[in-house]
Amino acid sequence: MAQILVVDDEVGIRELLSEILTDEGHDVRVAEHAGAARQARDEARPDLVLLDIWMPDTDGITLLKEWAAGGQLTMPVIMMSGHGTIDTAVEATKVGALDFLEKPIGMQKLLAAVSHGLERGQRRAPVGLSLAAFPRSAPLKDLRRRLEQIAAKSRALLLRSGPGGIVELAARTLQVPGKAWLDLATSAEPLSLEALDAANGGVLYCEELARLTRLQQKNLLFALERLEKFNLRLVAATSHDAAGLAPHGWDEAALRRLSDVWLSMPTLTELKDEIPEIASHLLTQLVEAGQTPLRRFTTGALNSLRQHAWPGGYGELKSAVRSLALAALEEEIDSDEIRRVLFPEAAAAPAIALPGLPSEAMDLPLREARELFERIYFEHHLRADGGNMTRLAETTGLERTHLYRKLKDLGLRGVKGEE
């Protein structure tokens, strides 16, 4: 018996497909729009998804791209549409859909597609996280648009980044789902034409030019001359200028060729507010790939990660998230766990304790922490003054009208003297 998720905004189609598949012995869950589909996918982790293209909130192709970009396209997806075109079917297949069914869907065609999907449905390892997973982040969305605009005109791109950059996250954005990702820094053999042919349509990647051996430098330049022939992209990065790369064996002519098109990368320090979302996506990927047990971050934990400097950049953050997920003893990873695992020297320092104030309050944004403190403060004095508003006003030094407004905003009420 398989877990199947049916996503369609038409109730009649949802019920019909659910009835047919249930009669076949499958466990079926339905969703009427993309928001419900996201929740159902995360909760049920289906073995297969039947996904309608035309939906009122988010269309199926966009949702498919979102799952692919976020590392959640680990199950086979069969697209459905009553207004499908060849172009739509091709686009869905490129993104990662397994099949395309045109409505009205015949029973035998449905069962054949589902059977084929489940046969092919071994859970796939997700590709690396890319900028496409962050459509609501203005700086990451802007960076993605620049990368894709450059990629439309150039097969080679040099990313210039200071320490703490996000070069892999950026480079993964140019990787087509299902196509090769070849890290040139991991090769210890000369790069052959056969290897380039096998990587056809993929991305050749180098995180830091200064770390390549002489052989790896030759491999990069060998590939650079053949990008068009083998339909490849080259994305290399460095935190050095030409003078800094010269001692590592790079000559001026080679650097000129590599620097023909370049783009500056922001660091995690500049993207501090995006760190919680990046960390959450990284954790989701690890869980989806089966590399770690089911884990999730608390709000306080995400704020602790946001406050860290991350001098090692995206690679350091990736390593930290994986270490936390493997070392955590509970499903929920809180800020105390982050201090114990990542920053034990901070955990050893005595914490500032206030009566009634949760330990995670120090990791909250200022506005939330202030509201929490104010609630505890007024609850304490309401009890101490027996709910008498006159005494409470004197104790807190607030004018009565202001005091009433403050208590109302906090959802608190006095017991006495509220005439």
Average pLDDT (258-271) is 93
Specify the residue for token string 């869905």: 92
Task: Specify the pLDDT at position 104.
Answer: 87
In a domain, 46, yes or no: yes
In a domain, 375, yes or no: yes
In the predicted model, is pLDDT for residue 195 greater than 90? yes
Where does 93-163 show beta strands of DSSP type E? 99-102, 156-161
In a domain, 357, yes or no: no
Specify the residue for token string 């990702």: 181
Q: Which domain holds residue 107?
A: 3-119
On whether both 41 and 160 belong to a single domain, the answer is no
Counting every residue written for the chain, the total comes to 419
The secondary structure element, H or E, covering residue 7 is strand 3-7
Where does 175-308 show beta strands of DSSP type E? 181-183, 203-206, 233-238, 262-265, 296-297
Distance CA 151, CA 146 (A): 9
CATH code of 58's domain = 3.40.50.2300
Encoded tokens for 254: 């080679």
pLDDT band at 418 (very low <50, low <70, confident <90, very high): very low
Evaluate whether 90 touches 69 at the Cβ level (below 8 Å). Answer: no
In the predicted model, is pLDDT for residue 156 greater than 70? yes
Average pLDDT (18-43) is 92
pTM for this predicted structure: 0.66
On whether both 177 and 195 belong to a single domain, the answer is yes
In a domain, 80, yes or no: yes
On whether both 229 and 290 belong to a single domain, the answer is no
Task: Specify the pLDDT at position 18.
Answer: 94
In a domain, 197, yes or no: yes
On whether both 230 and 302 belong to a single domain, the answer is no
In a domain, 360, yes or no: no
Q: Which residue from 256, 47, 271, 245 is spatially nearest to 170, judged by alpha carbons?
A: 271
Average pLDDT (218-244) is 95
Q: What is the dihedral of CA 249, 251, 252, 254, to 10 degrees?
A: -110
Highest-scoring range by mean pLDDT, 81-90, 336-345, 352-361 = 336-345
CA of 286: how far to CAs of 92, 112, 289, 291, 415, in Å?
25, 32, 5, 5, 51
Question: Over the chain, what is the mean pLDDT?
Answer: 87
pLDDT in tens, 57-72: 889 999 998 888 777 8
In a domain, 57, yes or no: yes
Encoded tokens for 399: 């004018």
H helices of 152-180, in order, are 167-172
Encoded tokens for 179: 């196509």
pLDDT in tens, 236-249: 999 999 899 999 99
Q: Which residue from 111, 127, 125 is spatially nearest to 2, judged by alpha carbons?
A: 111
Evaluate whether 237 touches 161 at the Cβ level (below 8 Å). Answer: yes
pLDDT band at 405 (very low <50, low <70, confident <90, very high): confident
In the chain, the number of structural domains is: 4
How many other C-beta atoms can be found within 10 angstroms of the C-beta atom of residue 247?
Answer: 9
H helices of 137-233, in order, are 138-151, 167-172, 193-198, 214-224
Task: Specify the pLDDT at position 162.
Answer: 85
For residue 49, give every residue at least 6 positions away whose Cβ sits within 8 Å of its Cβ, in sequence order, or none. 4, 5, 6, 7, 37, 41, 75, 76, 77, 78
Q: Which residue from 119, 111, 120, 106 is spatially nearest to 23, judged by alpha carbons?
A: 111
On whether both 65 and 83 belong to a single domain, the answer is yes
Evaluate whether 33 touches 77 at the Cβ level (below 8 Å). Answer: no
pLDDT band at 419 (very low <50, low <70, confident <90, very high): very low
pLDDT in tens, 5-22: 999 999 999 999 999 999
36 three-class SS: helix
On whether both 141 and 27 belong to a single domain, the answer is no
Evaluate whether 141 touches 134 at the Cβ level (below 8 Å). Answer: yes
On whether both 61 and 27 belong to a single domain, the answer is yes
pLDDT band at 230 (very low <50, low <70, confident <90, very high): very high
